[in-house]
Amino acid sequence: MNLQDSLLPPHAEMVRAMLERDTAYEGVFFTAVKTTGIFCRPSCTARKPKPENVEFFAHADEALSAGYRACLRCKPLDAAAIAPDWIQALLKAVDAEPDLRWTDALLLEQGIEPLKLRRWFKQHFGMTFHAYLRTRRLGIALGGIKEGTSIDNAAFDSGYESLSGFRDAFVKSFHITPGRAALSEPLLFTRLTTPLGPMLAMAERRGLVLLEFLDRPALTKELEELQQRYGYTVAPGHNAHLQQIETELAEYFAGKLTVFKVPLHMPGSAFAVRVWAELQKIPYGETRSYGAIATALGSPGASRAVGLANGQNRLAIVIPCHRVIGADGSLTGYGGGQPRKAFLLRLEKAAVQVSLPLAF
């Protein structure tokens, strides 16, 4: 079977999405124009080609392999590609020496143009590289305070010459004083790139807490709840759980991973936690209805409550709420958007079919 074709939506659906510049299909497919030799995102603002002059690809690298060039207007490689090698090398260097002061002169010595770096971080992290470094150092200070380091030592270890300057920067970044931070739980976050667009991953010492597409409408509300209701203090950084989910996500989208093993921590109501546990029992490549999950929980009339808990899931893909469908088989609501839900189901179904032994 053709694995690429199995991942694509129906042809008519892609033509409609392309003509209407539907942003819900970002990362779901790429549009390649035979007459120009260029491929684009479905939402590209350039003049739309005739449908008969277009072919579609599930992945950007497949369009490149077919001889197409990336559009300079919509930059399709930026939508799905992983961080470039020079960014990955820089981030590893920052992890190795978090106290190192990365001046523009030092960046130039490493062959990195400061303005180019600034633009990349603004686009992908919403802050400049130097702002990222400052916030990350404060995040390390937060972890130290949580473990018993004095505020004075945390301030000086972070490179601040005065306690007042440290406190001001700390409050500006975390909206909490250093003293109160000693009672909170640090929640580290990083941005991950996937074929379906960027995702935000957050983890604390007990496990992964959040994994969401950055354009999910409910993301802001989820972050506020984690901070205000569950007492988390959010800071950029890395830990073993974030590194593990990055690796496992790459294997999942490659069709090589069917069960996530990253430790999870899922604060929520007792009922929501039960629903999330039931979601994790749905086998890879299969689906269940809301009613079936309610019945499995011993509450056959609680389909609506199951749907609500399903929507409150903060761990997209890992807790597979995309495998829950309507009783009639329809793809009902999904926080990441129904096109992504359809893509994930096609991905899993295709991977299962490819893995089946051939019958002779």
DSSP string of 165-219?
HHHHHHHHHHSS-HHHHTTSEEEEEEEE--TT--EEEEEETTEEEEEEETT-TTH
Q: What is the per-residue pLDDT across 17-45, written as a single tens digit (0 to 9) for each?
A: 999 988 778 778 899 999 999 999 888 88
* Res 34: pLDDT: 92
pLDDT of residue 79 exceeding 60 = no
What does the domain layout of the chain look like in residue ranges? 11-77, 81-142, 178-348
The confidence score (pLDDT) of residue 162 equals 76
Domain 178-348 belongs in CATH node 1.10.10.10: yes
The yes or no reply on domain 11-77 and CATH 3.40.50.970 is no
Give residues with Cβ within 8 angstroms of 144, minimum separation 6.
153, 154, 157
Question: Quick one: angle between helices 129-146 and 163-174, nearest 10?
Answer: 100
Over residues 208-234, the pLDDT tens digits come to 999 998 878 888 889 889 988 888 888
Q: What is the pLDDT of residues 100-148, one digit of tens each?
A: 888 899 999 988 888 888 887 876 666 788 888 877 777 777 777 767 7
Residues marked as binding for Zn(2+)?
40, 44, 71, 74
Task: Tell me the average pLDDT of the chain.
Answer: 83
Sequence length of the chain is 360
pLDDT of residue 82: 54
> Whole-angstrom Cα distance, residue 230 to residue 265?
12
Q: What is the mean pLDDT of residues 269-279?
A: 94
pLDDT recorded at residue 355:
60
Residue 13 has pLDDT above 80, yes or no: yes
Nearest Cα residue to 66 out of 38, 29, 27: 38
Q: Which two structure tokens, joined as six digits, stand for 290? A: 């809301």
Mind telling me the catalytic residues? 40, 321
Report the range out of 77-91, 133-147, 224-238, 289-303 with the highest average pLDDT: 289-303
| Count of alpha carbons within 13 angstroms of residue 115, beta-carbon side | 0
For position 319, what pLDDT does the model report? 96
